[in-house]
Amino acid sequence: MKGDVIGDQPTGHGANAGGSPGGGSAGGGAASAGGGAASAGGGAASAGGRRRPGRPPGRRQGAADTRAEILAAARRVFSEKGFDKATVRGIAREAGVDPALVHHYFDTKEGVFVAAMRLPADPAAVVPSIIAGPRDEVGERVVRFILTMVDDPVAREQILGVMRTAVAHEQAAAMVREFFTTAVLGRVGEALGVPPLRMEVAFSQMFGLVMMRYILRLEPLASADARELIPLVAPTIQRYLSG
């Protein structure tokens, strides 16, 4: 089944759609609580012929975990269509909910993908922090962000799970490639005026570093402190991004 490819990701306790540690769990809890409230008030809303104030549009009566159902539908749609061709409307149709409810939980298609793939950070929050600040320090910001994030055990489990899945499954590789090209590299490159080839070479450099440090565990790279690696790698990334 096509949707099974994404399901191979490790669950990870810190995954969230907003990119901040613990945020997803809190959001998930709020979503579940909201689901219960909507279910309890569903009869009154139906009887009155109008939606109760504050109730997210499109919520189905009796849905115990609508958010989880949307994520399951999103995994199927992303597996079948890839990131670029998937739409919020198509995900909503697969889940049997109103598109407004998808936006209510995840805001954007990128937000749905981050939650579905259990990524530890949302580009909507990450990209502005990378492009802000002095242009001649962007390489350091990129390296510092990636190494700091992957050094966190929960985030590392999620990222390495995505990397392993992408390497093992062409379908998953296409999804991840489209997502990073559109939501990350494209946005950073456009904001900084960096050509796509340079962005991709810089990204491949960081991908290889993560692979060698955390998957192959090449020593002494694997045990080196991130603070020691940042000044070693940052000038190379800066050269790619500065031209």
Q: For residue range 114-141, what is the model confidence (pLDDT) as tens digits?
A: 888 888 888 888 899 999 999 999 999 9
CA proximity to 180, closest of 127, 106, 238, 101: 127
pTM score:
0.63
Confidence of residue 233 (pLDDT cuts 50, 70, 90): very high
- With cut-offs at 50, 70 and 90, classify the pLDDT of residue 193: very high
Q: What's the sign of the alpha-carbon dihedral 70, 125, 150, 146?
A: positive
Average of per-residue pLDDT values in the chain? 77
- Asked if pLDDT for residue 37 goes beyond 60, the answer is no
Q: Residue 20: what pLDDT?
A: 38
Q: Which residues contact 164 (CB under 8 A, 6 or more apart)?
A: 215
Q: What is the pLDDT of residues 211-224, one digit of tens each?
A: 999 999 999 999 99
Lowest-confidence region among 89-98, 122-131, 160-169, 200-209: 160-169
Residue 54 has a pLDDT of: 42
CATH class of 2-116: mainly alpha
Pick the CATH number of 123-242 from 3.40.720.10, 3.40.50.720, 1.10.357.10, 1.10.300.10: 1.10.357.10
Write down the pLDDT at residue 243: 65
Task: Read off the tokens for 75.
Answer: 């995994």
Residue 67 near residue 95 (C-beta atoms within 8 A)? no
Residue 186's nearest CA partner among 200, 170, 175, 173 is 200
Domain ranges of the chain: 2-116, 123-242
Summarize the confidence of residues 13-32 as an average pLDDT. Answer: 38
Radius of gyration of the chain (CA): 20
Flag whether pLDDT at 146 surpasses 90: yes
Alpha carbon distance 102, 224 (integer Å): 42
d(CA 28, CA 13): 12
In order, the DSSP letters of 208-239 are HHHIIIIIS--TTTTTS-HHHHHHHHHHHHHH
User: Percentage of the chain with pLDDT > 90?
Assistant: 44
Across 195-208, average pLDDT: 93
Amino acid 119: pLDDT: 82
Over the stretch 156-177, which tens digit does the pLDDT of each residue have? Answer: 888 888 888 888 888 788 888 8
- The predicted model gives 40-54 an average pLDDT of 40
